[in-house]
Structure 1
Amino acid sequence: MIEFYGRGLLLDIEGTTASVAFVYDVMFPFVRRELDAYLESAWGTPELELVLRYIAQDAGSDSFAEWTQDDATEEAKRQRVSAEMTRLMDDDVKATGLKQLQGLIWKAGFDSGELVAAVFDDVPDALERWNAAGKDVRIYSSGSVAAQKMFFEHTNHGNLLPMFQGHYDTTTGPKKEAQSYRTIAGDFDFEPSQILFLSDVVAELDAAREAGMRTGLCYRPGNAPVENANGHTAIESFDQISIG
């Protein structure tokens, strides 16, 4: 049980509010299936061009033009992007450009109704309780902010997006670095000690605790076993959080 009397809650998504299986078995395969078709249809659009800059920067170049300077045709450039995105997904790299591109592709799936986000059954009631108690509830995930909003807008429990007051992704900073959590606390405009961060990843919780936040380790069905909780209080459900 976690007793929390602070003002804000910061939540991870995968393995915390939703199952790892849904992300890996449904959402990621959807991106792989639609990747090339999306790149072809969206090529040259402003929203994709912004993401391509992130992808090039992740690859160590200053610009997309520099990164693809050896590619003679637009098709060759698209193939370079597709190959790099596939490599990053194969290696499970939390690159900002990949996450931004995944968000764009997932939008089509959520809009069509093919994708429906599967959140754990205890999540909607907990969000209602926390909001009713005046808590400021936000999300910090490696998935892009746009993808986070689509995810919670299209869940198996309906539209949960109004329950959140803010969203953060890796453009704020890496999830395993304490400075990222200090930055987020500053955006909350709370002292870090007034924020409870919930995640299934011990290294993320370590970073949040170093920044001064309270932490809770989520043991959800399908999560990888945790050999060392490193002092973080473990919970199996948001029902095990008492707020005041």
Structure 2
Amino acid sequence: MEGQQKRTIDEAEPSLLEGVKALIVDIEGTTTPIGFVKETLFPYAEENVESFLTKRYDDEETQQDIKALQELAAKDKADGVEGVVEIPKEGSKEDIIKAVVDNVKWQMDEDRKTTALKQLQGHIWREGYKTGQIKAELFEDVGPALQQIVEEGVNVYVYSSGSVEAQKLLFGNTEEGDLLELFTDFFDTTIGNKKDSGSYKKIVEKIGVSPEEILFLTDTPEEATAASKAGLRSALVARDGNEELTEEHFQNFLVIESFGELFGDDDDEDYKRLEGEDNGEVDDEDEDEDDLGEEEEEPEDDEGEDEDDA
């Protein structure tokens, strides 16, 4: 793998980064093991949410977090979401904290990816990173590969369902050190659902290059499909612990097991899939149907997201 990473983009035949000006990476299951989120970040947030709220209750930031969760709970109630835990807007500090804790644990049990939940989780994780109780784990190929990619002039971005703050905390506090300088910008679900092609169109506008000059890496086929519909190149990342990919996924997308493979792959058929000849694309009719639903979608309620939470 180290040999692959030392090859330059120009030397690779063909390089999967040929013609790419921007690389967008998912986090969980792509740069970071799923186990880190499930076994470290989630338990830390759940175990510390009550003490965090008690300690920070009067802080403006915490009040904003509580307000966002109250509004989401009210919307869930109005929408008839089963099992929703309501949060009163008036009452004692203790009663409100208890309701928020119960709501957060309910959302986590349901594996929801709401912006309000991710925001509070990010603030709880921030304390864990600051105290050294949390150190982010990356796959060993990620740091060296991203370093070389940046050195060769490709801008690197992150798109995750975790808040931008949580993303920066993760990459700023890895076991390999602070890697924030490798990234040009970060995107979260405030820009839209990761399985909605419209979200990737918005990211393309912000990055400022043509969609075909952007490569998106994710472990989730539905996200790769959405990115492809927006005109981006997409590739799936198969890692230990990730959900098994089907034969159809292997037919429709390039699949890599390491970022080192970005610097060259001998499989011309895989390269053709990356170039978009059969890269999870859908016909125009499907694209139109997707566009019709974009205005009504609420990014805050992106329960259908993948398990990318960091």
TM category (shorter chain) comes to over 0.9
Residue 243 of structure 2 is aligned to residue 236 of structure 1 = no
In the other structure, the counterpart of 1:123 is: 142
Select which of 57, 76, 91 maps to 1:43: 57
Shift of 1:2: 6.2
**From 94, 108, 132, the counterpart of 1:113:** 132
Cα deviation code 1:173-199 (max 9, x no counterpart) = 111101110111111011211111100
Alignment partners' CA distance in 1, 2:255 and 2:74: 38
Q: What letter is aligned with 2:111?
A: D
Shift of 1:54: 2.6
Listed as ranges, the matches of 1:172-183 within 5 Å are 172-183=191-202
Whole-Å separation in 2 of the counterparts to 1:221 and 1:151? 20
Equivalent AA in structure 1 for residue 16 of structure 2: E
State the TM-score, normalized to the length of structure 1.
0.93
Identity across the alignment (%): 36
Cross-structure match for 1:144: 163
State yes or no: 1:3 paired with 2:16: yes
Change (3 A) 1:187 1:42: same
- Write 1 or 2 for the structure with the bigger share of strand: 1
1:31 matched to which residue of 2? Answer: 45
2:175 paired with 1:184 = no
Give 1:48 deviation, angstroms.
Answer: 1.3
Offset, 1:76: 1.2
Aligned residues of 2:23 and 2:215 also touching (Cα < 8 A):
yes
Confirm or deny that 1:82 pairs with 2:95.
no
Q: Distance between the aligned counterparts of 1:128 and 1:106, measured in 2?
A: 26
2:74 and 2:224 map into 1 onto residues whose CA distance is 29
Report the aligned-residue RMSD: 1.8
Q: TM-score, normalised by structure 2?
A: 0.74
Specify which of 184, 187, 196 is matched with residue 168 of structure 1: 187
Quick one: structure 1 residues 53 and 184, their matched pair in 2 at CA, closer, same or farther if it must change by over 3 Å?
Answer: farther
Name structure 2 gaps, 5 residues minimum.
Answer: 1-13, 77-85, 265-310
Say whether the 8 Å CA contact 1:10–1:137 is kept in structure 2.
Answer: yes
Please list every run of at least 4 consecutive aligned residues from structure 1 whose deviation after the TM superposition is greater than 6 angstroms.
Answer: none
CA contact (8 A) 1:55 1:96 kept: no
Q: Could you say which residue in structure 2 is the equivalent of 1:68?
A: 88
Deviation at 1:167, TM superposition (A): 0.4
Residue type of the alignment partner of 1:208: A
- Please say if residues 39 and 78 of structure 1, whose CA atoms lie closer than 8 Å, have aligned partners that are also in contact: yes
Q: Secondary structure at the match of 1:10?
A: strand
Q: SS of the residue aligned with 1:157?
A: coil
Q: Distance in 1 between matches of 2:137 and 2:166?
A: 14
Is the 1:2–1:216 contact (alpha carbons within 8 Å) kept by the matching residues of 2? no
User: 1:226, CA displacement in angstroms?
Assistant: 1.6
Aligned AA for 1:29?
Answer: P
Q: Deviations over 1:190-238 (max 9, x none)?
A: 1211111100001111111111110010001111112241611100000
Aligned counterparts of 1:51 and 1:189: Cα–Cα separation in 2: 32
CA distance in 1, matches of 2:143, 2:215: 18
Contact kept in structure 2, 1:200 and 1:218, CA below 8 Å:
yes
- Tell me, in whole angstroms, the C-alpha distance in 2 between the residues paired with 1:74 and 1:114: 28
User: 1-side partners of 2:252 and 2:147: how far apart?
Assistant: 28
Equivalences, count? 239
* Amino acid across the alignment from 2:31: T
- The answer to whether structure 1 residue 219 and structure 2 residue 233 are counterparts is no
| Greater C-alpha radius of gyration | 2
Secondary structure class of the residue paired with 1:167: strand
- How far apart are the structure 2 equivalents of 1:195 and 1:182? 11
